[in-house]
């Protein structure tokens, strides 16, 4: 049945003409399977070819006919060694997929320096078939631009997931380590298929229990499932763990007893999990304990953990997501203020993990000014894949354009072209350690992600972590073909719909640079009026600042001066209302209702127009989908249709609620053309 469990790895039979052509290129398979990774790669290839082509190639030791596939490393395959292909640039994870002659026969080779590269190459080759690409003259050379490509699971040990909208945690802690769900392997396959090589298993709001021997056995069992797929496990750790499970009185990073506790804990972990990745830490943020509790800095805390992990090759991913009530002025400034002065103070095995924007995973934020501001520290990107602020499971919002917008943004810190992508892939400041993390959207729902289209967000995250310069549209195109069909009449409108979906959500939720208007707590639905949150910086009015005169957060030099956290040319641009891109207008400026935008219309008019346009876009998406009935299975078709209807209803709710509320501030009538019919 079409329940979405297969994700994009649907090896369903291809159209017969394609299949016939491909079969002649898959006549034989020469491929070792003596290591777990080799076996995983060979199993995947056979499974994929069997499903797509309705037949599997004959396994063989030598090439005896045209159309063989040879896959492996020069070390594991004498045939491949003899070809002397240039694998220099590939590193440990890269691969080649090439059409070439072997022993007088045309053949396809999948070659890498390490087994894991072969597995990645196999997935690439299968993708070419799934998307019906020509494979007669292949010359693919791929390697990841970013070293740590990690999913952060915000999974609690009781099985719930913070900001998870796809069921419970897929980690069944009760039955681990003795029962290994087959689902763990499918999870690893899906991750490996897009190059994800790390998984942080537990929530950043961490529980000390994860570091007890009982849980570490369970973690080790998961690590053993993931290992053949090139995925390392990491753990979120609670900074005060030495107190909670170690019996110490404090967790001060300068206390030798505390340092010893962490060293011994790290040693114990590596006894069980020799390739353990390291720790992720949320400290002194939203009530979590941290080094500042003892008057120490983030660097002191991170370095203590880094020293414990360093002998084993582990890393610390220290989060920069900090804000506090004490900061009355502007929450958006705090991370930069706390971390920038620490540049150069972190150990070499520490990465600073920075959310893409300076507030919190909003539908649109300018990139965080930390990117480019700490050249001596490897900065890791943190994206959110789960749609906490973007309609949870039901709204169709493809996040590729959001990720791409941030990655391609120019920080200008080192002249033109100093993009965020170049900061995080290490190219700009010559870091060898680099990383990109995504807060996962995965749960026990049959379709993993709560909706079919949410699967695309897991997919695009992985592909961009592998290469942050890829285009979101090209990735969407691959995903649609793999997930649904190669029929152009379906692919084109659906890709267009996906590409426009994020802007639609921005329009019906928070257009023109507005942010954090969501209901307190749930973050679902509009509540710009809500004064109930106990903290000022949790109240929407803190962000929108609407009054009789205007709306928007003044972050210019006459306001909070957050603009000066950016490189001087950008700071100047954002400081000037005339030069600020309108998509960030109310992020940086408090603007009068009658201010004229580039269109010549007033701000009030444009605000109403954007909200209305967002709703219209969703109606358009529904219209597109209505025309596509019959191209795919009825199960998935119907669910998407139903979810789009929910989205339309809620887009309308957002629009009406926000306009009504802001109208109570602006006192302006609805502009002509937008007034409701009498």
Catalytic residue flag (residue 286): yes
Query: Cβ closer to ligand GCW: 322 or 615?
Result: 322
Query: Shortest approach of ligand GCW to residue 239 CB, angstroms?
Result: 14
Question: Which of residues 300, 360, 507, 648 is near ligand GCW by CB under 6 A?
Answer: 360
Query: Shortest approach of ligand GCW to residue 516 CB, angstroms?
Result: 10
**Active-site residue, from 330, 360, 365, 606:** 360
The Cα–Cα gap between 371 and 428 comes to: 11
Most distant CA atoms of the chain, gap in Å: 81
Helix (H) or strand (E) holding 656, with range, is helix 634-666
Question: Which of residues 143, 361, 403, 543 is near ligand GCW by CB under 6 A?
Answer: 361
Query: Cβ closer to ligand GCW: 110 or 437?
Result: 437
Query: Shortest approach of ligand GCW to residue 125 CB, angstroms?
Result: 37
Token readout for 147 is 């070293």
Query: Shortest approach of ligand GCW to residue 207 CB, angstroms?
Result: 13
Query: Shortest approach of ligand GCW to residue 196 CB, angstroms?
Result: 19
Query: Shortest approach of ligand GCW to residue 258 CB, angstroms?
Result: 23
Per CB under 6 A, 239 contacts ligand GCW:
no
The Cα–Cα gap between 155 and 176 comes to: 15
Give the Cα-Cα-Cα angle 261, 267, 271 (nearest 5 degrees). 145
- Residue 67 · residue 28 · CB < 8 Å: yes
Site string for ligand GCW, 267-296 (x = CB under 6 A): ---------------x---x----------
Site string for ligand GCW, 304-333 (x = CB under 6 A): -----------------x------------
Query: Shortest approach of ligand GCW to residue 285 CB, angstroms?
Result: 6
Give the Cα-Cα-Cα angle 656, 659, 662 (nearest 5 degrees). 145
Give the three-class secondary structure for 259.
helix
Give the Cα-Cα-Cα angle 211, 279, 235 (nearest 5 degrees). 50
Task: Enumerate residues 166-205 that contact ligand GCW by CB under 6 A.
Answer: 204-205
Token readout for 602 is 């007033």
Query: Cβ closer to ligand GCW: 123 or 321?
Result: 321
Q: List, in order, residues 6 or more apart from 162 with CB less than 8 Å away.
A: 154, 155, 156, 203, 205
Q: Would you give the distance in Å from CA 121 to the centre of its chain?
A: 22
Catalytic residue flag (residue 6): no
Query: Cβ closer to ligand GCW: 136 or 286?
Result: 286
- Residue 44 · residue 189 · CB < 8 Å: yes
Burial of 154 (0-12, 13-18, 19+ CB in 10 A): buried
Burial of 23 (0-12, 13-18, 19+ CB in 10 A): middle
Query: Cβ closer to ligand GCW: 225 or 235?
Result: 235
Task: Enumerate residues 134-173 that contact ligand GCW by CB under 6 A.
Answer: 154, 162-163
Question: Which of residues 388, 425, 477, 503 is near ligand GCW by CB under 6 A?
Answer: 388
- Tokens 């080759």 found at: 125
The Cα–Cα gap between 497 and 484 comes to: 14
Query: Shortest approach of ligand GCW to residue 306 CB, angstroms?
Result: 21
**Active-site residue, from 286, 337, 576, 633:** 286
Per CB under 6 A, 238 contacts ligand GCW:
no
The Cα–Cα gap between 666 and 558 comes to: 23
Per CB under 6 A, 662 contacts ligand GCW:
no
Catalytic residue flag (residue 360): yes
Query: Cβ closer to ligand GCW: 162 or 414?
Result: 162
Using CA atoms, how far residue 491 sits from 397, 482, 636, in Å, is 17, 10, 15
Q: List, in order, residues 6 or more apart from 252 with CB less than 8 Å away.
A: 258, 291, 294, 296
Residue sitting closest to ligand GCW (CB): 360
**Active-site residue, from 300, 382, 388, 405:** 388
- Give the number of residues in contact with ligand GCW, rule: CB under 6 A: 11
Interface residue list for ligand GCW (CB under 6 A): 154, 162-163, 204-205, 282, 286, 321, 360-361, 388
Among all residues, which ones are annotated catalytic?
286, 360, 388
């Amino acid at each position: 049945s079409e329940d979405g469990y297969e994700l994009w790895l649907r090896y369903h039979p291809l159209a017969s003409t394609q299949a016939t052509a491909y079969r002649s290129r898959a006549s034989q398979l020469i491929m070792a399977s003596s290591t777990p990774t080799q076996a995983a790669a060979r199993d995947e290839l056979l499974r994929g070819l069997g499903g797509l082509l309705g037949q599997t190639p004959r396994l063989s030791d030598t090439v005896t006919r045209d159309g063989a596939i040879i896959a492996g490393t020069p070390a594991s395959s004498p045939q491949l060694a003899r070809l002397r292909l240039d694998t220099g640039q590939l590193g440990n994870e890269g691969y080649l997929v090439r059409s070439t002659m072997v022993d007088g026969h045309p053949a396809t080779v999948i070659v890498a320096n390490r087994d894991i590269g072969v597995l990645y190459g196999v997935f690439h080759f299968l993708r070419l078939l799934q998307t019906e690409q020509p494979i007669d003259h292949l010359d693919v050379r791929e390697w990841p631009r970013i070293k740590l490509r990690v999913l952060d699971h915000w999974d609690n040990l009781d099985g719930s997931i913070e900001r998870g909208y796809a069921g419970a945690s897929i980690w069944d802690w009760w039955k681990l380590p003795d029962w290994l769900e087959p689902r763990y392997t499918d999870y690893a396959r899906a991750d490996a298929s897009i190059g994800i090589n790390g998984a942080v298993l537990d929530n950043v709001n961490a529980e000390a229990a994860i570091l007890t021997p009982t849980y570490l056995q369970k973690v080790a069992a998961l690590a053993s499932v993931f290992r053949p797929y090139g995925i390392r496990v990491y753990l979120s750790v609670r900074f005060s763990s030495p107190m909670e499970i170690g019996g110490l009185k404090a967790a001060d990073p300068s206390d030798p007893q505390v340092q010893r506790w962490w060293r011994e804990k790290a040693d114990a972990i590596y006894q069980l999990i020799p390739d353990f990745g390291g720790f992720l830490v949320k400290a002194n943020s939203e009530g979590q304990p941290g080094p500042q509790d003892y008057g120490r800095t983030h660097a002191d805390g991170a370095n203590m953990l880094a020293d414990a992990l360093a002998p084993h090759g582990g890393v610390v991913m220290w989060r920069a997501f900090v804000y506090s009530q004490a900061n009355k002025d502007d929450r958006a400034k705090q991370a930069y203020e706390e971390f920038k002065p620490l540049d150069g103070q972190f150990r070499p095995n520490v990465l600073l993990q920075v959310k893409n924007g300076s507030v919190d995973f909003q539908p649109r934020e300018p990139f965080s000014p930390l990117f480019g501001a700490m050249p001596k520290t490897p900065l890791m990107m943190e994206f959110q894949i789960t749609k906490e602020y973007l309609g949870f499971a039901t709204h169709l919002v493809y996040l590729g354009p959001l990720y791409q917008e941030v990655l391609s943004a120019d920080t200008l810190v080192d002249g033109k072209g100093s993009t965020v992508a170049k900061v995080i892939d290490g190219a700009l400041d010559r870091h060898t350690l680099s990383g990109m993390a995504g807060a996962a959207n995965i749960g026990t729902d049959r379709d993993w992600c709560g909706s079919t289209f949410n699967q695309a967000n897991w997919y695009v995250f992985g592909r961009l972590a592998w290469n942050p310069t890829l285009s979101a549209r090209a990735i969407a195109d691959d995903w649609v073909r793999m997930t649904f069909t190669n029929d152009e009449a379906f692919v084109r409108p659906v890709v267009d719909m996906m590409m426009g979906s994020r802007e639609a959500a921005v329009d019906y939720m928070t257009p023109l640079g507005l942010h954090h208007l969501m209901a307190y707590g749930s973050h679902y639905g509009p509540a710009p009026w809500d004064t109930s949150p106990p903290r000022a910086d949790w109240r929407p009015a803190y962000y929108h600042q609407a009054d009789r005169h205007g709306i928007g957060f003044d972050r210019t030099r006459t306001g909070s001066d957050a603009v000066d956290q950016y490189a001087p040319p950008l700071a100047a641009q954002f400081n000037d209302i005339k030069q600020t891109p309108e998509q960030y207008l109310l992020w940086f400026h408090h603007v009068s209702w009658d201010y004229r935008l580039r269109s010549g219309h007033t701000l009030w008019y444009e605000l109403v127009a954007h909200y209305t346009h967002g709703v219209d876009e969703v109606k358009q998406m529904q219209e597109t989908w209505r025309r596509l009935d019959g191209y795919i299975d009825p199960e998935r078709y119907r669910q998407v249709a139903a979810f789009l209807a929910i989205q339309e209803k809620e887009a309308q709710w957002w629009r009406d609620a926000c306009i009504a509320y802001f109208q109570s501030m602006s006192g302006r009538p609805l502009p002509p053309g937008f007034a409701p019919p009498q």
